[in-house]
Amino acid sequence: MSKIAVVTDSNSGITQKEAKELGLYVLPMPFMIGDDTYYEDVNLTQEQFYELLLGGESISTSQPSPEEVCKLWDSLLQEYDEIVHIPMSSGLSGSCQSAYFLAQEYDDKVQVVDNQRISVTQRQSCLDALELVKQGKDAKYVKEFLEADKFNSSIYIMLDTLQYLKKGGRITPAAAAIGTLLKIKPVLQIQGEKLDAFSKARTVSQGKSVMMNAIKNDVETRFGGILPAPGGVWLEIAHTQNLEAAMELKEELLQVFPGYDVYIAPLSLSVSCHIGPGALAIACCKKISL
């Protein structure tokens, strides 16, 4: 049986510390702030990031450099036979494309997964990958499995403001066109490629109920129904500097999905940078069946 390493980037929300515990490897995403380059969770914490963002610093995201990627792969291949590489969604970043390109040099040893996940759903993909590896599947099988599974997840994100989104250009025109005169909290969805508009709300509780109904509807119609706990889906809540609201949302989510596990994590920074603080997201992934 070949030895397989699972690699992802820091968009999965998996910290360096957690990576060690789980037994996988995380490439930190670089950020250009002013003239300096920072690496998520290496020399840039969530707190520092928001402080800079709110302070009006212009923050731009980048992809891990080819050098960094190859260095990690090379060192891993000393120890492992194959690598499953799970980068952030190809709809939101060129990371996936670059990794795919680099992987050509590694024959079939590095399998780059293009399954358009991000944040908590990307994290779940990594956990699924670890599980598949444990089952003795090879890297190619894991890649194909995860790619076939890519649409079995949903994310809904309620933004506190449109301000950061407009700057970024990482949204479809439909989402960008959402009202400007009124204060509106857009609810966006990620079902694959880009962030797209889903609905709108004027208050937080309206927005939460929109997301809640949407997730409920997805589970009922696409992911096998609301089964008794532990259920057939993983539920996740992501937030940007909004832990208290996220905890509250968890309680509300448990009313609809009693007894389910709900994982809460801060939204990864390269998404946060386009969304700004105060956002809340609900996500779900269908549990994989082996």
List all residues 6 or more positions away from 239 whose beta carbon is below 8 Å from its beta carbon: 245, 246, 264, 266, 267, 279, 280, 281
Counts for the chain of helices (H) and strands (E), in that order: 11, 13
C-beta closer to other proteins: residue 20 or 202: 202
User: x/- site string to other proteins, residues 226 to 265, per CB under 8 A?
Assistant: ----------------------------------------
Q: Which of the ranges 77-85, 116-124, 203-211, 219-227 carries the binding residues for other proteins, by CB under 8 A?
A: 203-211
Q: How far is the CB of 120 from other proteins (least distance, A)?
A: 22
**32 vs 177, which CB is nearer to other proteins?**
177
- Helix or strand run (H / E) with residue 235: strand 233-239
Q: What is d(CA 281, CA 15) in angstroms, rounded to the nearest whole number?
A: 19
Using the minimum distance from each CB to other proteins, give the nearer residue, 60 or 205.
205
Of the candidates 33, 70, 77, 184, which one interacts with other proteins according to CB under 8 A? 184
**Cβ-count burial of 61 within 10 angstroms (0-12 exposed, 13-18 middle, 19+ buried)?**
buried
Q: Which residue from 179, 225, 230, 258 is in contact with other proteins, where contact means CB under 8 A?
A: 179
| Best CA proximity match to 84, nearest among 119, 39, 128, 42 | 128
Q: Interface residues for other proteins in 147-176 (CB under 8 A)?
A: 174
Is-contact 11 271, C-beta < 8 A? yes
Count residues binding other proteins (CB under 8 A).
19
Positions that interact with other proteins (CB under 8 A): 174, 177-184, 197-206
